[in-house]
Structure 1
Amino acid sequence: MKTLAKYSFGVGDRFAHEAEAQLAAFEKLAAQDVIVSPVWNKSNREHTFVGSEPPSVMAAAKAAIESRGWSHDWHVDADHIGLKTVDPFLPCSDFFTIDVADSIGKAPSDADLDAFVAKHGELVGTLELDGLSEPLTITADDVRRVGKQYLSACAEAAEIYRYIADKKGADEVIAEVSMDETDAPQTPPELLIILVALADHNVPLQTIAPKFTGRFNKGVDYVGDLTQFEKEFNDDLAVIAHAVKAYGLPENLKLSVHSGSDKFSLYPIIRQAMNRTGAGVHLKTAGTTWLEEIIGLAEAEGDGLALAKEIYQTAYDHVDEFCAPYASVIDIDRSQLPGADTVAGWSGSEMANVIRHDQSCPSFNPSVRQLLHVSFKVAAKAGQRYTDMLKANKEIVGTQVTKNIYDRHLKPLFVG
């Protein structure tokens, strides 16, 4: 299999214009002898909304790599794919985020469930693993309950992986299994049972994305109990280390944090856990680059600011439509969304301060930021007018993109 580096970081680029600016952030980190692999990600849903095709992500990433002379690993992620959506991604991706959320809770056959429980008696009892906050206590009923909830999803992950590997060649595939788009978080004991099931199916996953406790809303900070997250994250690392040794999973298997965009309060916890254990991490930042484009256009004043205001107004007028697909990962206080008269009077810097995720700035408005985060279809509808504006303001937009990824994400996560 193709091997994913210890540290990797997913970057979205909705309109395929910021790959060089994104890569510049990784270069700044590499200058400090910290190498993190950029992974350009875009889902089928995002392609559908924007009207783009999967090869555009590879083309933009490759052009940036060649232009800037990046000599380290990089990847292109077919984000949140299934059997029905994966084919267009096969020629132009090497990282595949296998999404099996729809199969979570789908009961397996009684025979399959009985066989799994019978095969894995070693899971029952009290497990004292290195790094756990407390021993895991798992009963036979727990194994059956978790198996009933997740075995079908694991079987689907195996089916999707085999399809990709058969079509592309296993040596060209990095597999991630995503379990995060579901209602309930997975506990460390549940994660262990899931990993055992994936090992039974010979899925060589290199990252797994569980759903953690708390709210992972798009483009804003974590909402939840930091002490609980720290315990859960560290226990998950212990479970993964055990599963690698006991069940033959890839040695570089690591946690993947989805909707990791702007989870600033979690970065010290994750960094400390990596330093303590030597574990790696994959973090996916979703659509923050698109927001930095809007900030850059606002800062540019003139036509750029006018277009940024127009995009916000359209988003405001269609808030229900744009928010519906993302309802589980946004929390917007509509009373905090300014109307047209207010926005019309903003200067470029005032609008930028409202959107930019600077929690020390009194103007920052997380509701505006979240609304714009999920409203990129407005810019897609503007088409060439929007992309021409990006080209005309490449320098100021690129500065925002690089600064956001490096200063707010890579530096606190990997340097401190």
Structure 2
Amino acid sequence: MLTLEKFTIGVGDRFAHQAAAQLRAFQQAARDGVEVVPVWNKSNREHTFVGSEPQSVFDAAQAAVKSLGWEKGWHVDADHIRLETVGRFLPCSDFFTIDVADSIAQPVAPEAVGAFIDRHPELLGRVQIEGIDRPFEITRDEVARIAGKFLLAVQDAGKIYRHIAEAKGEGNIIAEVSMDETDSPQTPPELLVILAALADEKVRVQTIAPKFTGRFNKGVDYVGDLVQFEKEFHDDLAVIRHAIARYGLPANLKLSVHSGSDKFSLYPIIRRTLPQFGAGLHLKTAGTTWLEEIIGLAEAGGEGLAFAREMYAQAIGHVDELCAPYASVIDIDRAKLPSAETVNGWTSEQFVRALRHVPSDPQFNSSLRQLLHVGFKLAAKAGRRYLDLLEANAEVVGRNVTGNIYARHLRPLFIG
């Protein structure tokens, strides 16, 4: 069976030009004595926006691995796929993020709920989970409520998983089940029921992405109660360890945090909690590589800075259109967005400081950053012009891409 390594980070490369720069960050971590494996990801939606094919992600990753002599693991993620979109990813992916959030709370046959409860009497009453101080008190009605909410989603995960396994062979795939893109966070008791149901469906899930309390907006830090997150994260790890032993799920099953990237305030919590359970982690960092490309072009000055200014001018003129697909994962204060005329007068340093994610910098503008984060399709429309600028400024862009992943993600999470 293809086994996902203990520590993995999902990295996006929307224009397939930064795989080597990304991989250099993992090489630096390896020199520090920590093995973290890259998982290149790109969703069907992003391929559609950019006009790319899944094979391009694999090709760029493979070329980087060969050119840098990387001998550790690496994977390519068919990100947030469903049955109707997975086909184009099958030839070139080994990691499959099965997204069933849309099926949560959809009606399921009452007899399926009753049969699930009958199969799992261990979920009723006082359920003691090692590592959690107080036992869960779960009534039959509560299990019925949870099963009624999540059972169809788990059944859909089973259908998608079996489709992928039939096409590629079960031993050749890594399955993640994603339930994070929904309205309400899943509680630890709900996660326990979900894992029992996944075991019933014989889904060999190696990582699961629940929704946590708080806001996981694209490209900016976590907004929420850090104490509550720490409790949820801790208790979810305990539930996963319990479910592995109780239901025969893969021994390497681990939590996946679909972070939207840059959840810096969560990294100390994650780092100190994982060792309590000997647990692994999959962190999906989303699309901030695109932002590092724009930062690098702005830093380079000249035509690069002119292009960065132009991207902002176009974005500020199409805010509603750009933000609509990401409305649930961005919070932009339009009053804090500078005018296109203002940005057109910025120096390289001003542009970089406004966009680079350094929360302590008084010039940092999270609203501008989020707008440009969802504005990557504007660069796609620029086509060859944008790619030529990336290639002409490869050194400065690559330095920003590598430094971002290593210094802002890998070091605080795994090295300190």
Q: What TM-score do the two structures reach when normalised by structure 2? A: 0.99
How far the C-alpha of 1:136 sits from its partner, in A, is: 1.5
Name the counterpart of 2:137.
Answer: 137
Residues 103-118 of structure 1 mapped to structure 2, 5 A cutoff: 103-118=103-118
Aligned-partner SS, 1:311: helix
Q: Structure 1: how far apart are the matches of 2:170 and 2:208?
A: 18
How far the C-alpha of 1:259 sits from its partner, in A, is: 2.5
Name the counterpart of 1:249.
Answer: 249
Name the counterpart of 2:15.
Answer: 15
Q: Structure 2: how far apart are the matches of 1:275 and 1:123?
A: 27
The unaligned stretches of length 5 or more in structure 2 are none
CA contact (8 A) 1:133 1:235 kept: no
Name the counterpart of 1:321.
Answer: 321
Residues 26-175 of structure 1 mapped to structure 2, 5 A cutoff: 26-175=26-175
Deviates more, 1:324-333 or 1:270-279: 270-279
Name the counterpart of 1:295.
Answer: 295
Q: Would you identify which runs of 4 or more consecutive aligned residues in structure 1 move more than 2 Å?
A: none
How far the C-alpha of 1:51 sits from its partner, in A, is: 0.3
Name the counterpart of 2:413.
Answer: 413
Q: Indicate yes or no: 2:206 matched with 1:206.
A: yes
Q: Indicate the RMSD between aligned Cα atoms, in angstroms.
A: 0.7
Q: Structure 1: how far apart are the matches of 2:222 and 2:46?
A: 23
Residues 336-375 of structure 1 mapped to structure 2, 5 A cutoff: 336-375=336-375
Amino acid across the alignment from 1:113: V
Name the counterpart of 2:388.
Answer: 388
Amino acid across the alignment from 1:60: A
Q: Structure 2: how far apart are the matches of 1:195 and 1:148?
A: 14
Deviations 1:307-366 (A, max 9, x none): 000001101100000000000000000000000221011001110100000012110000
Residues 220-239 of structure 1 mapped to structure 2, 5 A cutoff: 220-239=220-239
Aligned-partner SS, 2:90: helix
Q: Structure 1: how far apart are the matches of 2:365 and 2:282?
A: 28
Name the counterpart of 2:189.
Answer: 189
Aligned-partner SS, 1:177: strand
How far the C-alpha of 1:118 sits from its partner, in A, is: 1.4
CA contact (8 A) 1:9 1:39 kept: yes
Aligned-partner SS, 1:279: coil
Q: Indicate yes or no: 2:283 matched with 1:283.
A: yes
How far the C-alpha of 1:134 sits from its partner, in A, is: 2.6
Amino acid across the alignment from 1:291: L
How far the C-alpha of 1:263 sits from its partner, in A, is: 0.3
Deviations 1:86-108 (A, max 9, x none): 01100000000000111111121
Deviates more, 1:70-79 or 1:105-114: 105-114
Q: Structure 1: how far apart are the matches of 2:276 and 2:146?
A: 30
How far the C-alpha of 1:260 sits from its partner, in A, is: 4.4
The unaligned stretches of length 5 or more in structure 1 are none
Amino acid across the alignment from 1:140: R
CA contact (8 A) 1:322 1:375 kept: yes
Amino acid across the alignment from 2:231: K
Deviations 1:356-413 (A, max 9, x none): 0001211000000000101100000000000000000000000000000000001000
How far the C-alpha of 1:126 sits from its partner, in A, is: 1.5
Q: Structure 2: how far apart are the matches of 1:254 and 1:340?
A: 44
Amino acid across the alignment from 1:70: W
How far the C-alpha of 1:274 sits from its partner, in A, is: 1.1
Q: Structure 1: how far apart are the matches of 2:183 and 2:277?
A: 29
Deviations 1:30-86 (A, max 9, x none): 001100110000000000000000000000000000000000000000000011000
Amino acid across the alignment from 1:369: R
Deviations 1:196-238 (A, max 9, x none): 0000000000000000000000000000000000000000000
Amino acid across the alignment from 2:110: D
Q: Structure 1: how far apart are the matches of 2:134 and 2:11?
A: 35
Q: Structure 1: how far apart are the matches of 2:122 and 2:352?
A: 56
CA contact (8 A) 1:96 1:176 kept: yes
CA contact (8 A) 1:133 1:231 kept: no
Aligned-partner SS, 2:113: helix
Amino acid across the alignment from 1:385: R
Amino acid across the alignment from 2:289: T
Deviates more, 1:365-374 or 1:113-122: 113-122
CA contact (8 A) 1:260 1:283 kept: no
Aligned-partner SS, 2:177: strand
Q: Structure 1: how far apart are the matches of 2:153 and 2:51?
A: 30
How far the C-alpha of 1:139 sits from its partner, in A, is: 1.0
Percentage of identical aligned residues: 66
Q: Structure 2: how far apart are the matches of 1:133 and 1:377?
A: 48
Aligned length: 416
Q: What TM-score do the two structures reach when normalised by structure 1? A: 0.99
How far the C-alpha of 1:133 sits from its partner, in A, is: 4.2
